[in-house]
Structure 1
């Protein structure tokens, strides 16, 4: 069973950064042509789909159960996973204020982060509210997906997009923290393995969409004279609609995107 956990760590620490490499999906500033790469959605989509398949009986569900049994949770907790989700985001801002410039200045970083965070939070909350999957500890039915993992991977991808082009070690560091968070959520008996897979996918996808949508939203709201061209090779048009969603005394924002 240990080989499954080792494989998970190896994939997260080495394959993820090498898939992305030192090149970001996006331009160096808001006025550069922005080409949305559909292939960049393959990894997060795969993770989310794999996590979803693990909700019911099947190979992924069996693997999740096997991983929990191998860890033999005894009630002891490692609470550091409650603080790790902030590391990637804090690192990006810390580097910025230390004079180590990333792709965007702190104002535009914040704009990207708000869009990414809104998508991530809404996705996690809506899914939790509509899928009653019980936690491995049996204490609640809000296990899928892992919100802590989603937030940490969102921060890891945020750090990668801002500073991964400078050194791949920023990407490796961010994703190492995210991987550790996912593992600890399983170790602390808070989530199943498939919950963590889906959370990782949502986190990565949220940041990618944040970097893509933010320049578009900025142009619409502030009507920038130097608008961003969203694709340097395509003349396709995009339609974006936003609408509030009210559920269980919560106010969320839904987005409709037409290609």
Structure 2
């Protein structure tokens, strides 16, 4: 009788654990689907509008309003503005979701995966730019990078500094607008770029437990930041007292 009781308890425990794992996986799946609602909507709108009369008309009206001679390179910098915001907030002691090393890792993964995924789609979806320079308009690489970096900023500060968290999307949206103003992209291109940047970053944060390694966790006073000088990339270490 004692053996049967032990067997019953063991089977019940295994069954309960299996049910709990099933519930956890189901909840995680629902949570992930919820995170991808906005990127899905943006993607659907992008494919619906690409090469449409509405898109062509919108681009023509924008260029006409800008006298067809607008040109700026500031969009090359605004796409990375959320990165500067994040590290500045860290230096000022703002409370974030993760340690600066984990932030950097997630930022690097998000931007790298976004960059190469964007390049793949550009090669598959051959679409001419409005300025006729080449056939890799869809999706916008500047916009995908901008929304990836903005989403990292959002994920890090959404619970502690909502104003800071959402502010990155101002720079990302400005980047998207400037790409159209420069006549380098159509409306659907920037929509698709935004969708890619947001979706990939959401996935990186959803699965960040798979990369749970941080050699600087016990060195809270040390911050290592990326530096960009004359087209070279390096690292700068800062000791915070």
Cα deviation per residue 1:40-82 (whole Å; 9 max; x = unaligned)? 11110111222123334xxxx2221121111125132122111
TM-score (norm 1): 0.66
Q: Does 1:150 align with 2:144?
A: yes
Instruction: Decide which of 34, 43, 46 is 2:38's aligned counterpart.
Output: 43
TM-score (norm 2): 0.71
Q: Match for residue 55 of structure 1?
A: 50
Q: Does 1:87 align with 2:112?
A: no
Across the two proteins, how many residue pairs are aligned to each other? 184
Q: Match for residue 28 of structure 1?
A: none
Aligned ranges for residues 11-30 of structure 1 at < 5 Å? none
Per-residue deviation at 1:126? Answer: 0.3
For the aligned residue pairs, the C-alpha RMSD in angstroms reads: 2.1
Q: Which structure has greater helix proportion?
A: 2
Aligned ranges for residues 165-244 of structure 1 at < 5 Å? 165-218=159-212
Which of these two proteins has the greater Rg computed from alpha carbons? 2
Residues in 1 aligned to 2:152 and 2:211: alpha-carbon distance in whole angstroms: 18
Instruction: Decide which of 141, 156, 161 is 2:155's aligned counterpart.
Output: 161
Q: Which runs of 5+ in 2 are unaligned?
A: 1-26, 216-241
Per-residue deviation at 1:172? Answer: 3.1
Instruction: Decide which of 108, 127, 132 is 1:133's aligned counterpart.
Output: 127
Runs of 4+ in 1 over 6 A off after TM superposition: none
Per-residue deviation at 1:122? Answer: 1.9
Residues in 1 aligned to 2:166 and 2:210: alpha-carbon distance in whole angstroms: 29
Per-residue deviation at 1:167? Answer: 2.8
Per-residue deviation at 1:35? Answer: 4.1
- Higher relative contact order (Cα pairs below 8 Å, separated by 6+ residues): 1
CA contact under 8 A between 2:128 and 2:137: conserved in structure 1? yes
